[in-house]
Every structure is written in C-alpha cells, then in structure tokens.
Structure 1
C-alpha cells in the first residue's frame, strides 16, 4: 500500500505544480483552491508512504514523478519545448526512479 500512497503523492505533486502556474500568483480563485487541496493531499500521501519506504527513496521518487509529470504537462498544455536533450534527461530521470524502486 505504501507504493500506492507514493504514486498518489506524486500525482498530486503534478497537480499542485500545475495549478501553481494556473493560479497566476494566487490571483485566480479556483486554481488556488485546487493548489491547496493538491499540496495537502500530496504531503499527506507522502507521509503515509514513508511509514514503510525509506525517506530518501520515497522523496526521490516523489520528486521524480512530479518533475516528469509536470514537464509533460508543460509540453502538452503550455507549449514548453520538447527538445531531444530534454526528453533524454527525462528518460534518464525515469530510469533513476525505477532503479530506486527496484533497490528499495
């Protein structure tokens, strides 16, 4: 169950990073509310996951999920660049996250 909590924490991290951008410096109400909900749930699920998963592993995977997911959201919805090097380093990051999962 700890790994499911960690995945949920990572998904909500993507949510809070995305809604942080959409909130326009917390001047837009609904993105700001969704940000607060997402960050709260992200930290809640991260806390639940570290009951069984080592903190260093959980934190690295949590930030990895958030980083990769947020970059994809940026590319798909905010027209951020999808250069070969950017994709290469995302794949490297995913490989590192998988390696941490396999060694935990």
Structure 2
C-alpha cells in the first residue's frame, strides 16, 4: 500500500502510540488497579490503543507496526514518568531511549517504497 492510505495508517499508529503512553502512565497511577479513577482511565486508554493499533495494521506490516507502537509507548512512558511520578531519567536511560527513537525512525525509513529503476 502506498499513498494516502499508508500515510493515514502511520498517523493512526502515532495516535495508538500516544494512547499507549497514556495507558502506561495511568496503569501506573492505578497502583495495581486499586484506585478506581485511574483504573477506569487506564482501561479506556487500553481499548483506544488496541483499536488504533488494529486500524493502523491494515496498512502497515504487523512486525513493523508493533515495533514502532511498542517503541513509542516505551519512550513516551520513560520520558513522562519523571514528570508525573517520582521516577528518575538517568543519562544511561536517556541514551538507550535515544537508541530506541533512532530505531523507530530507521524502521519508518525502511518502510519507504523502493524507487523504480529508470527504463532505458
């Protein structure tokens, strides 16, 4: 698939990644699903992330889509965990998060269609 459908799939995958970050943060805030408000929001984020991921995978290979989705969730949660919770972002963690981000970018670049050879 190329063109607008592929672009929409990638945008929906980014949305799924954002919902995954929301899920990770709210499931942490739910303290093992013992806090009702956080738990309900976590379930909502969980359903939204799975729905968007399933829609995105209609136009993106499952291995690529899942890797990007998981990477976005991991990086987003690691970057926002210190903002919302008492968590540390050490230089070593920041380095490895940068590696994940680079991997996600390279995966996206690898999904570009190959240019057609000039006919002679």
TM-score, reference length from structure 2:
0.83
RMSD: 0.8
The equivalent residue for 2:27 is 20
The answer as to 2:18 corresponding to 1:11 is yes
Q: Which residue of 1 aligns with 2:76?
A: 69
- Counterpart of 2:46 (choices 39, 52, 55) is 39
**Which structure would you say has the larger Rg?**
2
Aligned to 2:103: 96
Question: 73-82 or 3-12: which moved more?
Answer: 73-82
Partner of 1:24, secondary structure, is: coil
Aligned length: 104
Structure 1 Cα separation of the partners of residues 34 and 86 of structure 2: 22
Normalising by structure 1, what TM-score?
0.96
Uncovered stretches (5+) of structure 1, i.e. residues with no partner: none
Q: Which has the higher contact order (CA 8 A, sep 6+)?
A: 1
Unaligned runs of 5+ in 2: 1-7, 112-120
Work out the CA distance in 2 between the residues paired with 1:25 and 1:78. Answer: 15
Give deviations 1:61-103, integer Å, cap 9, x for gaps: 0000000000011122223222111111010100000000111
